[in-house]
Structure 1
């Protein structure tokens, strides 16, 4: 399905390039300029850079015991503004993680608003929230189409009605607590994985947005240079190669940043 979507996007971009080539020929009467515009246009890397970045990010998370359900999951996570915890996620064995307040502060600095979602009638919800450093307590999320619910990552712990095979895991649902399947599953119920997950999602979104800017800018500048006769066919081919290389190198930098982060974390641990 993802490949079909990419092919459709590629065809649309080629159609745009052909339209511009026709307009250039109609406006200048110069077939070489129109041909050069087609050479300078580089849609392939622009379309495929996104799945490449997603694949790199997903592979990095898998190595850390975090699995995502679809290729769009991380990008969706990067748009979440709230992070809601059940009591099973905050205190899976009845005991709060000692670093929970520091973790909540870190999540706030990453732009997330922590929320505690205790079961209705829970008597110690305020105490749990205070221990975790959470200021917002809600008995339930609003309807799934409510703006708050749509922008919430819902964290369920290992004790939240899970089968034996799903124990000691974190199950994360994005956008609505009513979803039956988790969008993200962490192999451990250790909440310290959450900043890594969020940071990876934000880095991925940043690379996707950068590639969109680079792709559109380089392609349309190339078309413009070809239209006014500055680029020759050889120059158009070089422009195409440079545009492709820029996008692919920017995508690869996501992987390099993750490798550096791993080495840095290892050296700090030592």
Structure 2
């Protein structure tokens, strides 16, 4: 049952497994509330129309998650969580990670709709690894899939796939892209300045052909050497304990699915 759970037949009895709301929690309502407040997703099991138990499924935060959120914020990104988990579970995990904006109980089409809304406000990147993240990855200005642990459809839909399981590759890649863009603009500006400067000097005869060629070739060497810097990747720093992050909204958004 899409977005609800599973049904099957065991020894002639109908068995259902799914989320609260689709199945009546009954006397386990308080237990399920405790599971959700602890950051777990509750899955109910019903056998022959009788509720027989609940299973708590919990996504554990990776040890570097808090540091990654902190680095993203300090780099000027506004971070939002988009998840299919219930609000209680999503809020508990978001608090541990340091995320203040949470969108929960989302289906794939809901994630894509929210990403589209965020795009109307600022350039938006979507980070995800599951099948449910694919529509949002395609909708965002930049789709980023965690390649080592992502599904095939998420990797194929995303614009960038980060290989490896260390989440710190994400802020590293974003910082590297910004640095490479800055170097590119430096080279374009220097190239235009050299050409614009040499043209009148050559036309007025201030510099001869040999001097113009020499200056042009020297500028090319400088531009190439500067461009080589864009290919350098800095190693990841050691995993450290995070500090309080700057929560001021910034002109770009990273949504985590």
Which interval holds the TM-score relative to the shorter structure?
Answer: 0.5 to 0.7
Which whole-Å deviations, capped at 9, do the CAs of 1:205-248 have from their partners, x for residues lacking one?
Answer: 11111111111111101112112221101111112202211211
Length-normalised TM-score, structure 2: 0.54
Among 154, 160, 175, the residue aligned to 2:126: 154
Among 60, 69, 74, the residue aligned to 1:104: 69
Question: What RMSD, in angstroms, separates the aligned Cα atoms of the two structures?
Answer: 3.5
Q: Evaluate the alpha carbon distance shift between residue 146 and residue 171 of structure 1 in structure 2; reply closer, same or farther with a 3 A threshold.
A: farther
Among 58, 79, 85, the residue aligned to 1:114: 79
- Which sections of structure 2, spanning at least 5 residues, go unmatched? 1-56, 105-110, 135-146, 239-257
Q: Evaluate the alpha carbon distance shift between residue 172 and residue 210 of structure 1 in structure 2; reply closer, same or farther with a 3 A threshold.
A: farther
The CA distance in 2 between the partners of 1:170 and 1:217, in whole Å, is 47
Higher helix share: 1
- 1:144 is paired with a residue whose SS is helix
Q: Evaluate the alpha carbon distance shift between residue 131 and residue 202 of structure 1 in structure 2; reply closer, same or farther with a 3 A threshold.
A: same
- Matched with 1:169 is 150
Q: Evaluate the alpha carbon distance shift between residue 171 and residue 186 of structure 1 in structure 2; reply closer, same or farther with a 3 A threshold.
A: farther
Higher relative contact order (CA 8 A, sep 6+): 1
Q: Say how many residue pairs are matched.
A: 164
Q: Evaluate the alpha carbon distance shift between residue 180 and residue 154 of structure 1 in structure 2; reply closer, same or farther with a 3 A threshold.
A: same
- Matched with 2:205 is 229
Length-normalised TM-score, structure 1: 0.51
- Matched with 1:67 is none
Q: Evaluate the alpha carbon distance shift between residue 193 and residue 250 of structure 1 in structure 2; reply closer, same or farther with a 3 A threshold.
A: same
4+ aligned runs moved over 4 Å, structure 1:
158-162, 170-173
The range that moved more, 132-141 or 231-240, is: 132-141
- Which sections of structure 1, spanning at least 5 residues, go unmatched? 1-91, 174-178
